[in-house]
Amino acid sequence: MTAVERALLSKIGDLPSTCVFRGQADSRWRLHSAATRRLINYFDNDESIIEKAVFSDMHWVYHRSVLLEPARNYGFGSANGHKIPDIQLLAKLHGFGAATGFLDFSLDPLAALWYACEEDDCDGRVFVLDLDSGIGFRQISVGEAVQSVEDVFRWPDKRRGNLYFEMSDQHKNAARASHNEGLSVQAWPLISADAVRSFVIAASDKSQIRQELEEMFDYREPALFADMQRFSAVNSPRLPMPHIEDPEFSLLLGNQCYLQGDYPGAITHYNKSIELAPDAEIAYFYYVRGNAKAADGDLGEALQDYDSGIRCEEGLPGDRERNAEGITNGDYLWRLYYNRGNVKAELKDLKGALKDYEEAIRICRQVGARESVFYVNKGNVNYLLNRYGDAIRDYDQASKVGDPFAQFKKGNMLVILGRFDEALECYDGAIRNGDNRSGVICNRNGLAAILNRIGGDGYVVRSPRFKDATQRLIIEVSLRADADNRFTEFFNFHGMKGNIGNAGAQHLPGGKGYRGIPGFVVVVKGEEW
């Protein structure tokens, strides 16, 4: 048995005809496209970046801003006076060695074996990809394709599978033309491990395998690349990426810092986004920078960014196009108002916060977004403004639109107003609906004890007042008692959770919530009337 047969051919005899092959000289290398490897290098060889939510967006922005736009500026993007599609231009660049998001596979397993044997000091590997696997791959024609880079790399239809295409003669460099026909497979940004199997090629066998491939199968060392390599070589995976002057790429770098809790770093990248952004996008960049500043505790600066974002949004035309997520820039307007309301509430501009929440609710209804958090925070602000009836109505509305904790908040309001029987029903309802937090249970049991103590209607509830610097609300309940039976009992109630945090953005969590409402005390006094 020859070394070629022993290493590979004997192992693939039963594979279906829909399989294609790829050889890599080092068995330790993962099945990453050159674009993925280049982005990993950009992040100091931190492979964990590919697991981050922002990576797929970075991947497609790289194709647009590093490859396609510069290539078109150099005049590579047209043929016979006509602009060629993004996918066709990427195929040309890929054929000459640029770091794209495609991986080359061969229909000939021996071609893959040749590349797996290129270096003698380490084991190689041959990957086998079944194009008819359950993962699903679909073929496109480069010559006829009209997909933009966004269609190919940003919003692929995963139900229809990853793309692959056969390289035409004009798109192949001399190296690929020297071996058998092949195709390029989209790795977005990774090919699923479930679709691939592989075989290790021992380093000790490589020299013998190469000799057999040359003598028995006429395989030779690949030739030099052709003309277009000059541009493609600058964008090979071995070279660092150039500085990318792209607002969305700066945004993605900022998002990555934000997710890591590096808010100053995020702000630096968002500053660059704002510097580069076209007017149609700048409101969103103010929005995410405001979130980063709020998360970093710089509420005054965050307020200014939300102000700027609102001015930009309200100055844009009303017929804006929606992106692939179905969102217009204008759909961020309610988020800007809501987050600005949170900052105002924390800065104790309660009336300003209330006005912003109301505007956020109005806009939210127009775009069909969920609005329960607005009513919760609006109710909290109304409470702080001593508008207890308005707060109750807000919590009722929050319950209607799905907030699971609004019943507890309403119960607290009813206790403060002296409507104890109704408050007990709210606490019981909250517990029945699964709100079994310790504060809910303690307040419910404390209120039950108060009702047991005061009995029927023979009591008076005085208007709530604040107790000195602690800002804890005092609710006094007076019972008729004779001179020998006077008493004072204190019942401590848990306050409400603070305002729900800022609304987030794509891939980003919202900001932290703000301070909670302090607890309050019900004082029951037996005294002479």
Whether residue 165 is predicted with pLDDT greater than 50 in this model: the reply is yes
Mean pLDDT highest for which of 196-200, 221-225, 500-504? 196-200
381 touches 345 (CB < 8 A): yes
- CA-CA distance, 507 to 255, in Å (whole number)? 8
What class is the 245-317 domain? mainly alpha
Could you tell me the end-to-end alpha-carbon distance of the chain, in angstroms, rounded to an integer? 111
**How would residue 359 be classed by pLDDT, with cut points 50, 70 and 90?**
very high
Pairing of strands 137-139, 182-186: unpaired
Q: Which amino acid is at 47?
A: E
pLDDT digits (tens, 9 = 90+) for 115-133: 899 889 999 999 998 888 7
Q: What's the confidence (pLDDT) of residue 513? A: 59
Q: What's the confidence (pLDDT) of residue 206? A: 94
Q: What's the confidence (pLDDT) of residue 26? A: 93
Whether residue 379 is predicted with pLDDT greater than 50 in this model: the reply is yes
- CA-CA distance, 489 to 524, in Å (whole number)? 5
Q: What's the confidence (pLDDT) of residue 239? A: 62
- CA-CA distance, 2 to 132, in Å (whole number)? 30
Q: What's the confidence (pLDDT) of residue 448? A: 94
Whether residue 234 is predicted with pLDDT greater than 60 in this model: the reply is no
Instruction: Summarize the confidence of residues 379-392 as an average pLDDT.
Output: 89
Whether residue 482 is predicted with pLDDT greater than 50 in this model: the reply is yes
Query: Helices in 282-387 by DSSP H: which ranges?
Result: 282-295, 299-314, 333-346, 350-367, 372-384
**How would residue 227 be classed by pLDDT, with cut points 50, 70 and 90?**
very low
Report which of residues 81 and 154 the model is more confident about.
81
Q: What's the confidence (pLDDT) of residue 81? A: 72
Query: Helices in 121-205 by DSSP H: which ranges?
Result: 149, 174-177
Q: What's the confidence (pLDDT) of residue 325? A: 37
**How would residue 307 be classed by pLDDT, with cut points 50, 70 and 90?**
very high
Q: What's the confidence (pLDDT) of residue 426? A: 94
Report how far Cα 95 is from the mean position of its chain's Cα atoms. Answer: 33
Query: What proportions of the chain, in percent to the nearest 5, are helix, strand and coil?
Result: 50, 15, 35
pLDDT digits (tens, 9 = 90+) for 425-439: 999 999 998 888 888
Report the candidate in 382, 453, 372, 374 with the shortest Cα–Cα distance to residue 417: 382
Mean pLDDT highest for which of 153-162, 243-252, 329-338, 432-441? 432-441
Which helix (H) or strand (E) is 429 found in, with range? Answer: helix 420-432
Residue 500: half-sphere exposure toward Cβ, Cα within 13 Å: 20
pLDDT digits (tens, 9 = 90+) for 92-117: 888 778 889 888 888 889 989 998 99
Report which of residues 332 and 131 the model is more confident about.
131
82 touches 59 (CB < 8 A): no
Report the candidate in 241, 230, 175, 239 with the shortest Cα–Cα distance to residue 23: 175
417 touches 388 (CB < 8 A): yes
Q: Which amino acid is at 528?
A: E
pLDDT digits (tens, 9 = 90+) for 272-287: 988 888 766 788 889 8
Q: What's the confidence (pLDDT) of residue 505? A: 60
529 touches 480 (CB < 8 A): yes
**How would residue 392 be classed by pLDDT, with cut points 50, 70 and 90?**
very high
Instruction: Summarize the confidence of residues 203-217 as an average pLDDT.
Output: 91
Q: What is the mean pLDDT of the chain?
A: 80
**How would residue 91 be classed by pLDDT, with cut points 50, 70 and 90?**
confident
Q: What's the confidence (pLDDT) of residue 467? A: 64
Q: Which percentage of the chain shows pLDDT scores above 70?
A: 77
- Bridge partners (DSSP) of residue 193 are none
Report which of residues 165 and 450 the model is more confident about.
450
- Bridge partners (DSSP) of residue 83 are 78
Whether residue 300 is predicted with pLDDT greater than 90 in this model: the reply is yes
Backbone φ and ψ for 420, nearest 5 degrees, come out as -70, -40
Domain boundaries for CATH 1.25.40.10 within the chain: 245-317
Report which of residues 396 and 144 the model is more confident about.
396
Report the candidate in 217, 62, 234, 220 with the shortest Cα–Cα distance to residue 150: 62
- CA-CA distance, 77 to 148, in Å (whole number)? 13
Three-state DSSP class for 331?
helix
Backbone φ and ψ for 19, nearest 5 degrees, come out as -85, 145
**How would residue 51 be classed by pLDDT, with cut points 50, 70 and 90?**
confident
The pTM for the full model equals 0.65
Report which of residues 249 and 233 the model is more confident about.
249
Lowest mean pLDDT among 162-166, 251-255, 334-338, 513-517: 513-517
Backbone φ and ψ for 506, nearest 5 degrees, come out as -55, 125
* Residue indicated by tokens 């007017």: 279
